[in-house]
Amino acid sequence: MDAFYASCELLRYPDLVGLPVVIGGGRRHQPELQADGTRRYARLAGYTGRGVITTSTYAARALGVHSGMGLMKAAAKAPDAILLPVDFDLYRACSRRFKAAVAELAPVIEDRGIDEIYIELTNLPGAQEAVGHDPLGGVRALALEIKNNVKRATGLSCSIGVTPNKLLSKIASDLDKPDGLTVLSMDELPTRIWPLPARRINGIGPKAAAKLAGLGLETIGQLAQCERSWLIERFGLHYGAWLHDAAHGRDERPLVTESEPVSMSRETTFERDLHAVRDKPQLSAIFTQLCEQVAQDLQRKGYVGRTVGIKLRFDDFKTLTRDLTLDAPTADFATIRHAAGLCLKRADLSRRLRLLGVRVAALNRADAPPMPSRRSMKAAAGGKAKAPAGWRAAAPTTVLRAAEPGLFDEPPAKPEVQD
């Protein structure tokens, strides 16, 4: 999807179309409705805090303002850019509509996140047919139909890359953004792919790119000219061989149409550092909201989890995590809030906090058969606990007691949970 979060906001605020807009503000940056029916928008000018840009419109990107940039730095580049708060409920709703629109025409889909998917077109009717003198005309028409269906369902544009494999499709989908359609055959690698920077290959990060540059390899084409053995010698057996294959457009990975999440989490970075005692009411509300959001995510997607954890980042940028494993999997808000509060008791909160997160892991489907208790597994195995096939082993059971309150506030009352 093209500039997805920003595009969703432009649907809601069409008067901002064509203007530089940045997504990443807090609640205080919510547009204000004026008496005359117009809206008053927050601007980047004068922004103070350490928020970062989640995404920006293409008009803002033209001013050098892009995702991941600090908002204060962005304010120096584009002080008149409009600042909007993040609204993930809106983005998730648009995401569901976009994926449903694609599935109507191409049901074999690998979900890669809120705004990106891989689609298998090979066996769809007409995909292998030529149209006139264009041997790829059939698949081009099919991709265009998908784009149009997404536009009708969401009002948003997307960019599609159609190639023989996932690696090349990832690159091709970015070549003609926004609202692009790039159909690429292997014969076109030398002209369309090899002139691109090596970083355009998904899997070559900043460190690898810097090492490649140090070796005089700036483009994908220069990388493709290297001997496989030479790359393996310098980058190791696995990564060196992969670099050689990637530069030549080779990728045998199939679409993964079903995958189970490992965990679900929510976290937030504060605009100013907060103290566990002096800012207790504010932290309490944020902490409880994070737990509630994680519980809602689990329930909406049909999962339960056994391990509840917290993530803390302090004013010195040190990060701390604490986990606690329950006796039974849950998606219940009160249970998650209680367990997360107990995790807080094992953390030193003398320093100010800049980030707070809540996580539930060791997930299973909510409709899966209940996991036998460790005691029953131990008895059935003749003294040695052994999980049945298909279940991951969990950490040792932790006993929770209602008498142990959280630090930010008193969690919802819970009965004693025993093994």
Q: Which two tokens stand for residue 397?
A: 């059971």
* Distant-in-sequence, close-in-space partners of 59: CB < 8 Å, separation ≥ 6: 18, 19, 20, 21
Residues 138, 135: Cα–Cα separation, whole Å: 8
* Distant-in-sequence, close-in-space partners of 79: CB < 8 Å, separation ≥ 6: 43, 44, 45, 46
Using omega within 30 degrees of 0 as the cis cutoff, is the peptide bond preceding 178 cis? yes
Q: In which residue ranges of the chain is CATH 3.30.1490.100 found?
A: 263-380
Q: In which residue ranges of the chain is CATH 3.40.1170.60 found?
A: 7-86
Judge contact between 419 and 373, C-beta under 8 A.
yes
pTM: 0.72
Q: What's the CATH class of domain 90-190?
A: alpha beta
Of 116, 120, 271, 292, the catalytic one is 116
pLDDT tens, position by position, 159-188: 999 999 999 999 999 999 999 999 999 999
3-state secondary structure labels for all residues of 60-77: HHCCCCCCCCEHHHHHHH
Strand pairing class (160-162; 181-183): parallel
Q: In which residue ranges of the chain is CATH 3.30.70.270 found?
A: 90-190
CATH number for the domain formed by residue range(s) 263-380: 3.30.1490.100
User: Is domain 7-86 annotated with CATH 3.40.47.10?
Assistant: no
pLDDT tens, position by position, 148-163: 999 999 999 999 999 9
Note if 227 is an active site residue.
no
pLDDT tens, position by position, 204-241: 999 999 999 999 999 999 999 999 999 999 999 999 99
Residues 263, 303: Cα–Cα separation, whole Å: 10
| Consecutive H or E run containing 93 | helix 88-103
Successive 10-residue mean pLDDT values, the chain, 419 residues: 94 95 89 92 88 91 92 94 93 95 95 95 91 92 96 97 97 95 96 97 95 97 97 96 98 88 89 90 94 95 95 91 95 96 93 94 85 56 49 39 46 43
